[in-house]
Structure 1
């Protein structure tokens, strides 16, 4: 899932409702790495692992844009594995970032 980043909190809230209702069991979510944001806290509290991506994402130009107009995200990004084990996130994404998982004793 790659929500519009200015509405990430709304999409995460909906995703968690869908998980709670049993309609979604697994998802990989691309989000801004805003560690102080409520939506990140909600995902972290549930123990979902995240991959803090190294560097900044680069975007291909949109339709009608010059090929040289590739843009770089103005902030860091992360992937969150909803319903996915940290080891699976590591296997899939360790080459692009660091896998982090909250520990709740």
Structure 2
């Protein structure tokens, strides 16, 4: 059976539309978003149960090396936390290849 262009099997695997709006982003949601970053914005919003602007803003944070979201996803330990007290860890943040290439091309 098809309702609004979406089969019932598909809708069972996706959260309700906008069910996570205004909710804190989990590490699993960040991973899912980053792994599927090449999908269309509406598809990502549907997968995550979030609004278009929320997904767009979160993606911007996940690709900004100075944001806490980036640190949690790429620099955090196995528990998903970042040790902000360690000066050595602050200075050893990994820089995405895209950013390195942008700086080289100047």
TM over 0.5: no
| Bigger Rg, which one | 2
TM normalised by structure 1 equals 0.29
Higher helix share: 2
Using CA pairs below 8 Å that are at least 6 residues apart, which structure has the higher relative contact order?
1
